[in-house]
Structure formats: C-alpha cells, structure tokens
Structure 1
C-alpha cells in the first residue's frame, strides 16, 4: 500500500512509486572522453566522473521509445556520464552510477513528472525516432534547430540470462536540478539485446548542448560500443537527496 510520500500528483493525475515501465525500446552508444572536460561539465552536481582508464571518462548517449508505462508513451534522449557513487571512493571495489546530464523528451506529462519527482533535467524537444529499420536513428531538435543526431548500427545477439535465475539488476542513477543532486534507484530487465564494438555515428548541430558535447570531442570520437534492446522493463524508485 502506497504512503503519501509514494504518491505524486502530476497535471491532476496520481503517480505512485515505484514508477513502472512495461515496454520500451533502446539504442545507445558509449564513448571514452577526456576526464578533465567531462568533470568540468558536471561539476555543478558535486559528483566525480569515474575513470576506467587514467584520464578517460565514459559518456553514454541513448534514445528510448517508451511504448507502455505509468508516464504514458513518449520519446527520450539521454546524455549521461559514468560517475563514482558518493562514499565509494575507497576500497578495492568502487561503486559507479550514471549521472543524467541532459534528458530531452517529447511529451509534457513525463517532463513534469521527471522534473518534480526525481529532479531529472528533462526539457521539451522535437524528437523524430526510427527504431524499426536496420539502423536505429534519433534526432533532437528545438524549433527546427538540431542539437544532436545519433545513428546506431545493428550488433550481434547477446544470449539472455537463465530464466528465473536472477532478479532484475538494481542500478544507481543521479540527477541534479536547481542545485540539488539526487540519487534514484532503478531496476532494468532487458530482452532482445544486441551489442557490437563501435557502430555509432554522432552528428552535432548548433544548439548549446551540442557545443558542450563538441568540447568533449564527440563529433570526431569513435564509439567504444553500441547496443540495441527491443524490449525493456524498468522501475524507478523514490529519489533521495545526496548530501556532501
């Protein structure tokens, strides 16, 4: 049974936590970028980028078509960075999470929900997306002004895990809005996963966010890897403020 703190009213509709996504499709790519500029870009969050290799951070680009979920159908594009989870800087195993730096969407309900419930940096954009073709494509535009275009080529099928063998993995994501950094736990369960080395093409436009990404060298960087998921379920829990 939900408590009062588990329920939010968005545009007159009740949204109970955890918010569940029952069907989504995803295409994504990961890039190694200079750690210094990446850290400067997310310094406002108070978080630190993870460096899998000295001097290199990981930037992830992803676009998602939400077909069925508690926030309705919509398109989304994410720019995220791999970060050290607060309090995990010591020890042999360091926890990491995904910091969501930029999150355009194409529907107002999810925009309001994402900003008010979790502090996700959602903005409203035009987002033509094609996940039906061999190459998956998405563009983010504001009044006809292109910010970014991403194309992801097909990879090889990744065998699914043993049915019933594991629960959906819990991941850590982080947001920062209006000076408040938050931790958001979420779980994912993918099927129809394909992966490959490289396989992504990025085109940057003249939007300010494009200039930020150009400063990381994304307009000329080769992807470390890319992936597509035909069916993804997710659940997002309550956000907690990260205190320094």
Structure 2
C-alpha cells in the first residue's frame, strides 16, 4: 500500500473521506472560452452541446476523513480524456452518448481550502491546485451559502436553493489536476446520500479577485443549468498518474 509523508504524518492510499456535504452548480459556458482557461493543461473540454462546455462551482464541508476536517471550494470543468481523440461535432444526444463511452472526467482548475494539512497533502499527493483562502460555509439553513475570500478580496458569494430528492447512486470518475507543469489523472469514487437536484437554483455574486474576473469572462453570473446538494457522501481518492 502506497503511503505519503505529510507534515510528519503518514497518509495511506487510497485516501478516504467518510463524510462530507457537497453543493454544486453547473453552467453551460462557451467552449472556446473554457478551452482558453484550461489551455495550460493540454486537456480539452467536453462539449455537451456544439460550442458549449460545462463549468461547475462546488463547495464542500469535509467533516470526517483522512485529511481531517476542512472547507473547500472548487472551479471545475468537464473534460475529455486525452485518449478520446477529436471532439464530436454532432447534436446533443449523440454528443452525450459519446461522452459516456469516452469516460469524461472533471478537471480541477482552482481549489482553495481553509486548512494547511489538506493543502500540503492535496498538492503533494495529487497535484491539486490547493491554496489557502477564507471559506465561510452556511449549511444549517434550507438555503446553502458559501463566501470565498482570497488576498483580502471577495472571490465569490454563492447561494444554492436545494431541489427535489433523487436517489443517490455510487459512481466513479477520473479527476484531473495540473501543478508545476504536470497534468495528472486521479481515480475518484463516491457514494452520496440525501441528494437533491433542480434546474437553476443558484445565485452567484462575483467579487474583484482575478478568479472572479475569469468566471465573468466565462459568462457568469447566469442561470445555472442544474444545481445539486448532497447531505452526506463518502469518497475515495487513488494514486495520481502523470499524463
């Protein structure tokens, strides 16, 4: 079993999260703009519609896991695996079918956290672009809210209204990271419970941080394609492999 030494502690692989709450909002954005944002990785965005990619904003409350308790915010893009070949230029149904066959994954573009141990572990083990930020999560009320501040500037203030209950299903995706010039693939599995989904349902206010300007250039704030809240989920992250 692989192990990593982080701040004097051994972290065994795979890294397990026993409980976390997750809130996400996904947006259709221009594929050319999204490609420009992630051009540094060598990856290509997945087009769920011709000329349209998916950018998701997520905030997570990790309450029990191998990397301790912490808060996290993520800007992620749906991407095609490097071996998938040229992107399809067909209609919605054909495009979605092709994405399922090719195994689209999620590229983590920005990943602030509020604790130092998970910061070092995430960067060292997987090459996730974790950095310290102020993350204020308010999950006790029916409306779920996250406020992210970095370098004394507000990045984003995000409010999600939970939708209708849907069955939670275990799944597996490849996550992708990029740090210090290296793009990596990370096997990621999850088992959610207490899932609620709805079209729209998110309110986003952007600040004056460079990441906020980048989101603005993608067309945010706008109506979300879909939002989801997960009351409890377990997760597992395997060893990263450089591409």
Gaps of 5+ in 1: 162-167
The residue number in structure 2 matching 1:155 is: 163
Which is further off, 121-130 or 82-91?
Answer: 82-91
Aligned residues between the structures: 231
Query: How far 1:94 sits from its partner (Å)?
Result: 2.5
Aligned to 1:165: none
Q: Say which SS state the counterpart of residue 135 (structure 2) adopts.
A: coil
**SS across alignment from 2:162:** coil
Offset of residue 51 of structure 1: 0.4
* Unaligned segments of structure 2, at least 5 residues: 89-97
1:104 aligns with 2:104: no
Q: How far did 1:144 drift?
A: 3.2
Say what the alpha-carbon RMSD is for the aligned residues.
1.2
Aligned partner of 1:236 in structure 2 is 237
Q: Which residue is equivalent to 1:94?
A: 102
Point out the more displaced range, 111-120 or 150-159. Answer: 150-159
Q: Write the distance in 2 (CA, Å) between the matches of 1:84 and 1:137.
A: 30
Structure 2 SS opposite 1:44: helix
Matched, 1:203 2:208: no
1:182 to 184, 199, 204: 184
- Structure 1 residue 169, shift from structure 2 partner: 1.9
Post-superposition Cα deviations, 1:9-44, rounded to whole Å, max 9, x if no partner, equal 101110010000000001111000001110000000
2:61 paired with 1:65: yes
The change in CA–CA distance for 1:34 and 1:160 in structure 2 (over 3 A counts) is closer
Q: In 2 relative to 1, CA 77–8 (structure 1 residues): closer, same or farther, beyond 3 Å?
A: same
Q: CA–CA distance in 1 between the matches of 2:102 and 2:241?
A: 20
Match of 1:56 in 2: 52
Is the partner of 1:139 in helix, strand or coil?
Answer: strand
Offset at residue 89 of structure 1 (A): 2.6
Correspondence list, 1:26-45, <5 A: 26-45=22-41
Q: Distance in 1 between matches of 2:182 and 2:203?
A: 33
TM-score normalised by length of structure 1: 0.92
Superimposed CA distance per residue, residues 207-230 of structure 1 (whole angstroms, 9 cap, x where no aligned partner):
0111111100112x1100001000
**1:160 Cα shift?**
4.1
Give the helix-richer structure, 1 or 2: 2
Deviation at 1:188, TM superposition (A): 0.3
